[in-house]
Chains A and B, each alone.
Chain A
Amino acid sequence: MRYIEPHAHMVSRVTDDYVAMVTAGCEAVCEPAFWAGFDRSSAQGFYDYFRQLTEHEPRRAAKFGLPHYCWLCLNPKEAEDTGLAREVLDLLPRFLDRPNVLGIGEIGLNKNSRNELKVLEWHVDLAARTDHLILVHTPHLEDKYKGTRLTLDVLRADGRIRPERVIIDHVEEHTVGMVLDAGFWAGMTLYPETKGTPARAIDILERYGSERLWLNSACDWGVSVPLVVAHTAREMRRRGWSAAAVDRVLYQNPVRFLSQCPRFTLG
Chain B
Amino acid sequence: MTRRETLDLYFLAARHQLIEVAAFMDRVDHAPGEADFRWAAFVKALRCLETAPAGERAAAVLMALSDPTTVPVERAPGKGAVGAWEGPAS
Asked if A212 is at the interface (CB within 8 A of a chain B CB), the reply is: no
Residues of chain A within 8 A (CB-CB) of B69 are 146
Contact check, B76 vs A110: say whether CB atoms are below 8 A apart.
Answer: yes
Asked if A77 is at the interface (CB within 8 A of a chain B CB), the reply is: yes
**What are 7 contact pairs spanning A and B, CB under 8 A?**
A111-B79, A116-B72, A142-B85, A145-B66, A146-B67, A146-B69, A238-B9
Contact with B along A99-122 (1 / 0, CB 8 A): 000000000001111111100000
Do A146 and B66 contact each other (CB < 8 Å), given the known contacts A139-B81, A141-B81, A141-B83?
Answer: yes
Indicate the member of A35, A142, A172, A240 with the most B CB atoms within 10 Å: A142
Which residue of B has the minimal Cβ distance to A172? B62
Residues of chain A within 8 A (CB-CB) of B82 are 141-142
Contact check, A142 vs B83: say whether CB atoms are below 8 A apart.
Answer: yes
Asked if A199 is at the interface (CB within 8 A of a chain B CB), the reply is: yes
Do A113 and B70 contact each other (CB < 8 Å), given the known contacts A140-B81, A142-B81, A142-B85?
Answer: no
Asked if B68 is at the interface (CB within 8 A of a chain A CB), the reply is: yes
Residues of A within 8 A of B (CB): 35, 77, 80, 110-117, 139-146, 149-150, 172-174, 194, 199-200, 203, 238-240
State how many angstroms separate the Cβ of B4 from the closest Cβ of chain A: 13
Contact check, B9 vs A114: say whether CB atoms are below 8 A apart.
Answer: no
Asked if B35 is at the interface (CB within 8 A of a chain A CB), the reply is: no
Query: 6 smallest A-B Cβ distances: which pairs?
Result: A111-B76, A141-B81, A140-B81, A145-B66, A174-B62, A173-B59
Roughly how many angstroms separate A115 CA and B72 CA in the complex, as a whole number?
Answer: 9
Residues of chain B within 8 A (CB-CB) of A173 are 58-59, 62
Contact check, A113 vs B72: say whether CB atoms are below 8 A apart.
Answer: yes
Considering only residues 30-89 of chain B, those with a C-beta below 8 Å from chain A are 58-59, 62-63, 65-70, 72-85
Contact check, B73 vs A239: say whether CB atoms are below 8 A apart.
Answer: no
Which residue of B has the minimal Cβ distance to A144? B66
State how many angstroms separate the Cβ of B89 from the closest Cβ of chain A: 11
Asked if B1 is at the interface (CB within 8 A of a chain A CB), the reply is: yes
Contact check, A113 vs B74: say whether CB atoms are below 8 A apart.
Answer: yes
Residues of chain A within 8 A (CB-CB) of B63 are 145, 174
State how many angstroms separate the Cβ of B57 from the closest Cβ of chain A: 9
* Known A111-B81, A146-B69, A173-B59; further 8 A-B contacts with Cβ < 8 A: A110-B76, A115-B76, A143-B66, A144-B66, A145-B68, A146-B70, A172-B62, A174-B59
